[in-house]
Amino acid sequence: MTRRHAFLAAVVLLAASAATAQEKAEGGDPRGVVGPPKGQALAGEALLTRTEDVAGLLRCPVCQGLSVADSPATMAVNMKAQVREMLAAGYEQEQILAYFEHSYGEFVRLQPPLRGVNWLVWLGPLLALAAGGVFVTRALSARRPAAVPAEPSALPGPATLPDDPELARYVRRVRELAYGWPGGRPPGSEA
């Protein structure tokens, strides 16, 4: 066997394995992945309705913001046809979803199941909202000044002057200029 023959044999083997992998991903026999059908075979209007329901649970791999039922992409149309075929053969919804999950990964589900790391996806926004609420509550309570009850008798009156004579002189002068009180004393107050 020459090198050329060995090379051609390797290319043929590689092409055959690639074709097998592509057939498996694009619509090989689902029995090998999810086993025999567990439900009733559907036909007619029930088949069309159920096809739309199940295809609405799968994410289109091409336009990832849409479900297979809503996407106009060729791949989504093919996936929808495969869903219809599987429902007509009697496969149940969970079997169909497991089949596509096996082929495309867990991302193909629009509503991933609550298992493993997916708990963080489902609970993450709620935890972030709760943490934000705690943060805002603490920030607002820290800004609120503590209420100091003041006794009415402890507050200085308008005739009260500071104990420092120099400061008292300035306070009298300000009261004279601001209020027009002669000598800085309010009217009706005693010397």
Q: What pLDDT score was predicted for residue 39?
A: 83
pLDDT greater at residue 86 or residue 34: 86
Tell me the per-residue pLDDT of 95-114, one tens digit each, with 9 for 90 and over.
999 998 888 888 888 887 77
Determine the Cα angle at 151 with ends 149 and 153, to 5°: 165
Look at residues 102, 100, 22, 114 and name the one whose alpha carbon lies nearest to residue 55: 100
Q: What pLDDT score was predicted for residue 19?
A: 46
Q: And the tokens for 99? A: 């089949």
Q: With left for phi above 0 and alpha for psi between -120 and 50, is residue 90 left, alpha or beta? A: left
Torsions phi, psi for 35 (to 5 deg): 85, -170
pLDDT greater at residue 153 or residue 143: 143
C-alpha–C-alpha distance, residues 21 and 129, integer Å: 44
For range 59-68, the mean pLDDT: 85
> Above 70 in pLDDT, residue 16?
no
Torsions phi, psi for 58 (to 5 deg): -105, 140
C-alpha–C-alpha distance, residues 83 and 54, integer Å: 7
Q: What percent of the chain has pLDDT over 90?
A: 16
> Above 60 in pLDDT, residue 14?
no
Find where tokens 């590689």 sit.
14
C-alpha–C-alpha distance, residues 89 and 52, integer Å: 16
Look at residues 58, 131, 137 and name the one whose alpha carbon lies nearest to residue 93: 58
Question: 27-36, 71-80, 81-90, 158-167: lowest mean pLDDT where?
Answer: 27-36
| Burial category of 182 from C-beta neighbours within 10 Å (exposed 0-12, middle 13-18, buried 19 and up) | exposed
Find where tokens 């097998």 sit.
20
Give bridge partners of residue 109 from the DSSP assignment. 58
| CATH architecture for segment(s) 3-108 | Orthogonal Bundle (1.10)
> Above 50 in pLDDT, residue 138?
yes
- The residues spanned by each domain of the chain are 3-108, 159-184
pTM: 0.50
> Above 50 in pLDDT, residue 25?
no
Mean pLDDT (the chain, rounded): 79
